Amino acid sequence: MNTGLLIGLMFACGILMMAMPVVCFMIANIVMGQGITPFILIMTFLIILLLTFLLSAGSFAYMQYDACKKVKNTTQIFTNAGIAVAIQLVSLLFVGITGWTSIPKQMLPATVPHLVREGLGYGYYTFFATMYGIVLGGTLSSIC
């Protein structure tokens, strides 16, 4: 297993996924002129889960190709991507239900717009859930 590749993919996917709530909330504000409604929150969660699956499956296939010199087991890759999605789902549900987005939001200055603060509140936990899912699934996908 190439640890440098794993760490690079982990941070790259984590940073990309951290930006998704901010992007979704800002697009919803520009297009629909609304704040955060339950519909927008659910759509953001679905987009994050879909992107988690796609990024994870691609990352795991590349890691398996790097370790085994060919992609041997696509079932294993998609199963590991499903595990990464489950980790992301649990994280988003936990943060959404408990309201823990206020913790990272309080660290930002008051001059930051509300939607950006809300997006970064969710993005903070999305970042770590993505990194954990990539490390777990990437390690399992590297087994030839």
Q: Tell me the per-residue pLDDT of 70-119, one tens digit each, with 9 for 90 and over.
A: 898 889 999 999 999 999 999 988 888 887 888 888 888 888 888 888 88
Whole-prediction pTM value?
0.84
Portion of the chain with pLDDT greater than 90, in percent: 42
> 53 pLDDT band (50/70/90 cuts)?
very high
HEC per residue, 87-141? HHHHHHHHHHHHCCCHHHHHCCCCCCCHHHHHHHHHHHHHHHHHHHHHHHHHHHH
Residue 40 has which token pair? 């927008």
The backbone torsions φ and ψ at residue 11, rounded to the nearest 5 degrees and listed phi first, read -70, -40
* Tally of CA atoms within 13 A in the half-sphere of 52 that contains its CB: 34
Strand extents, DSSP E, the chain: none
- Extents of the domains making up the chain: 3-141
Residue 59 has which token pair? 């990352």
